[in-house]
Structure 1
Amino acid sequence: MKFCKKYQAYMEEQEKKLPGVGFKKLKKILKKCRRDYNSQNDVQAVLDHQPCPHHCAVCDGTFFPSLLKEMSAVVGCFNERAQKLLELHLASGLRKYFFWFTGKLRGNHVGLIQEGKDLVTYALINAIAVRKILKKYDKVHDSKQGQAFKSQAQSMHIEILQSPWLCELMAFHINLRETKVKSRKSTSVLFNACSLTFSDGKPSLTCELFDSVKLDIDLTCSICLDTVFDPVALTCGHIFCFMCACSSASVTIVDGLKFAEPKEKCPLCREAGVYEGGVHLEELSILLSRSCREYWEERLQTERVERVRQAKEHWELQCRAFMG
C-alpha cells in the first residue's frame, strides 16, 4: 500500500478527529502545478517532462502556507495531549487525588499506556508525511525549497520531531513496556518499538516505525560530553543536563532557566531565546536512573555538592542585599 493511502487509512481510524497533514490535497496542488506549467510551454518541454520552476506562484502561494498551518496544528495537538497524559502519569499525592476528583483519571492505567503509544505513532507518521510531501515538492520543482522550508519550520518550532514531549513519551513507553497492552491492529502495524540503546557507552532513544523509518535521539550532553543527568530539553529540541544548561545560560540552578536572558543561545544550534521554555524530561530521567544506576548515583552525589554550594552563595547574596 502506498504511503498516501496508508496515511489516510490511519487518520480515518482514529477515534477522535485529530489534525493532520493534507497529504492528498498537497499532492494535487503539485500535480496541478506541473500540468499547468507544461501546458504553457512547447511540446518538447512536455515530452521532456521539464520540472516546474524553482519559485512558483501557485505552489509558493498555496502549498507552503497550507502545510505550515497543518504542521502547526499537528504539533499543537500533540504537545497538548502528550503533556496532559504525562501529567496524569507522574501525578502523586494531593495532585493525583485532584485529577481523580476532576475526572481526569477515569481511564485505567492500561489506557494511559495505549494512549502514549498512539501519540508516538501519531507524531512519527505525521513527520513522515511532511518529509515525503517536501521531497515530492523538491522533485517537481527540481529545487531545495522543500528542505529550506523544513529548516524554517524547525526555527519556528513546529517540526514535530523537535518536540520534547516526543522524547518523554518514548521514555514513558519504555518505562512501562513490561505491562501487557492489547493494541489495536493499526497501531501494531505502524508502531514497532521504542528502546534505549547503548553504542560505545553512549545512550540513545530509538523508535522504529513502518517504511523502515527510524528515529534516534542522542542522550549525550554536548556540554559535559556525558550521559544527560536531570535532562532538560530547550525549545530548539536539543537536550542537556539541567546544570549544564544553567551554566550555558549564565544562570544559577536556584534561579533556573526561566531567568535566562533572551539573548542566550543554544550551545549547539546557536538559536537565541530557547532557555525560558525549557522542559524538564522527568520520564527520561526515570529511565536513565534505572538503566545507568552506578553512573546516576555518582552524578547525584557530585551534583548535590554543587547544588548546595550554589544555593549557599545565592542566599548569602540575598541576605547581603537585604541587609544593605
Structure 2
Amino acid sequence: MKFCNEYDEMMQGLGQKKLPRIDFGSLNNILESCRKQLLHSHTADVRDDQANADGVSADSQLCSGRFGTFVTNDIPFGCSSFLMQTGVGYLVCEGTFFPTLLKEIRGVVGFFNSRAQALLDRHLPSGCCKCFLWLGDRLLGTDVELIQECETLIAYATINTIAVRRLLKKYDKIHYSKQGQAFKSRAVSMRVEILQSPWLYELMALHINLREAKANMECAHLQLDGFSLIFDNTKPSLSFELFDSIKLNIELTCSICLETLFDPVSLGCGHLFCYMCACKASSVSVVDGLKAASGRKKCPVCREVGIYESAVNLEELHILLKRSWPEYWEERRKMEKAERIEEAKQHWQSQAARFMGI
C-alpha cells in the first residue's frame, strides 16, 4: 500500500479538495480480494484433482470480485492460466473493476481538459476578454500563478496516469492475462488516455514558453523541468520525463506534408497535422474551417471518422515552434500566406458564381 499512501499525499498536496480522482485504494482492494479467491480456487483445484481425476471442480471456476461479478462464456479473459486452459465459463471481477476504473478515468480526463483549456484561455485570450485579462494580469501578477497552475495540472495528470498503469499491471499479474493492456488500448480509442490529450501537449508548450520568458524571475520557482523541445536531424519533438519513469516523445512532423508542424492542430483521434494539411485532408477550405468537415471524413493516419469537428488548435505549440525555429517559421509563413490568399480568392469567387447562378 506504499503507492496508495503516496498517491493520497500527492492528491492532497495539489491544494484542492474533491478533485476527480482514481480511487486507487478501493480498486486495489478489488484486486486483492480477487487474488485471494484465485489462490483459494487454485488450492481447491489441486485438492479436487487429487481426489477426482475426471476434471476441475466447479468451485475452482470462481474469480468473483469483492463488489461484483461478471459471467463470460466467450474468449477467456481474467482468471489464472489453469482456468484459461479449461475452456469453461467462469466468474471474473471485470464486472466491477473495469467499469469503475473507466468511469473514474473519464472524470479525471474531463476535469483535466476543462481546467487546462481555461488556463490556456487566460494566457492567450481572444476577443474583448483579452483587455480585461490583460489588465487583471498586470494588477495581480498572474504570470507566476500560470506557471504554478500549469505544473499542478501536469502533476495531476501524471499521478493519475501512474495510478491507472499500476492497477492495470497488477490486474494482469494476478489474472495471468493481457486484459489490462487491452484496456489501455481501448482507452486510447475512447479518447480517455490523458497522456494523449492535446491539452497536455499545450500545457507542456505553455510551460516551456513561460519558463523561457520568465527565466530571470526570482519569484518563479519552477518544480518541473523535464520538458524540452528536441531537434534530431531537423525533426523536432516535444519530450518530457516525469516521476515513475513516465516518458513522452511527441513527434512534431506533419504526416501529410512531412514537414515540421505549422499552425498545428490535433484531431479528435489525437494525431497532429498542419492546419492547412488537415483542411485538405477533410476537403474543406481554410475559410470554412475544420468544423465544416463531413462526419464521414477519416483521419489520414488511423482512418477514424468523426474527428474533425473536435479538432483543437495548438496555439502554444505554434508559439514554441516559432520561437525555437524562427527562420523556418518565417519561410513557411510566407508560403502559407500566399496559399491562403489564393484559396480564399477561389472560395469567394465560387460563392459569388453560385449566388449569381452562373
Normalising by structure 1, report the TM-score: 0.90
- 1:153 maps to which residue? 187
Q: Equivalent residues in 2 for 1:185-264 (5 A)? A: 188=223, 191-264=224-297
Cα separation, 2, equivalents of 1:58 and 1:116: 40
For 2:227, what is the secondary structure of its paired residue? strand
Q: How big is the shift at 1:291?
A: 0.6
Q: How big is the shift at 1:98?
A: 4.0
For 1:262, what is the secondary structure of its paired residue? coil
Q: Equivalent residues in 2 for 1:51-70 (5 A)? A: 51=80, 57-70=91-104
Kindly indicate whether residue 141 of structure 2 is the aligned counterpart of residue 140 of structure 1.
Answer: no
For 2:226, what is the secondary structure of its paired residue? strand
Normalising by structure 2, report the TM-score: 0.82
Cα separation, 2, equivalents of 1:247 and 1:92: 26
Seen in structure 2, the aligned counterparts of structure 1 residues 45 and 201 have a Cα distance that, compared at 3 Å, is farther
1:30–1:137: 8 Å Cα contact kept in structure 2?
yes
Cα separation, 1, equivalents of 2:355 and 2:92: 64
Q: Equivalent residues in 2 for 1:1-324 (5 A)? A: 2-17=2-17, 18-43=19-44, 51=80, 57-91=91-125, 94-99=128-133, 108-178=142-212, 179=214, 180=217, 181-183=219-221, 188=223, 191-324=224-357
Aligned identity (percent) is 56
Query: Residue type of the partner of 1:294?
Result: E
For 2:244, what is the secondary structure of its paired residue? coil
Q: How big is the shift at 1:198?
A: 1.1
**Could you report, residue by residue, the CA deviation over 1:40-66 in whole angstroms, capped at 9, with x for unpaired residues?**
3435759xxx83756874421110011
Q: How big is the shift at 1:141?
A: 1.3
1:38–1:45: 8 Å Cα contact kept in structure 2?
no
Cα separation, 2, equivalents of 1:166 and 1:269: 21
Q: How big is the shift at 1:106?
A: 5.7
Query: Residue type of the partner of 1:22?
Result: D
Cα separation, 1, equivalents of 2:134 and 2:331: 37
For 2:211, what is the secondary structure of its paired residue? coil
Cα separation, 2, equivalents of 1:163 and 1:26: 24
Seen in structure 2, the aligned counterparts of structure 1 residues 210 and 319 have a Cα distance that, compared at 3 Å, is same
- In terms of mean alpha carbon deviation, does 191-200 or 303-312 score higher? 191-200
2:281–2:300: 8 Å Cα contact kept in structure 1?
yes
1:100–1:106: 8 Å Cα contact kept in structure 2?
no
Cα separation, 1, equivalents of 2:211 and 2:141: 18
Cα separation, 1, equivalents of 2:90 and 2:291: 42
Cα separation, 1, equivalents of 2:44 and 2:190: 42
For 2:331, what is the secondary structure of its paired residue? helix
Unaligned ranges ≥5, structure 2: 48-78
- In terms of mean alpha carbon deviation, does 1-10 or 283-292 score higher? 1-10
Query: Residue type of the partner of 1:14?
Result: L
1:192–1:210: 8 Å Cα contact kept in structure 2?
no
Cα separation, 1, equivalents of 2:156 and 2:189: 22
Seen in structure 2, the aligned counterparts of structure 1 residues 30 and 110 have a Cα distance that, compared at 3 Å, is same
Aligned length: 315
Seen in structure 2, the aligned counterparts of structure 1 residues 45 and 313 have a Cα distance that, compared at 3 Å, is farther
Cα separation, 1, equivalents of 2:220 and 2:144: 9
Structure 1 or 2, whichever has the larger Rg, is 2
Query: Residue type of the partner of 2:263?
Result: D
Cα separation, 2, equivalents of 1:101 and 1:298: 34
RMSD of equivalent CA atoms: 2.4
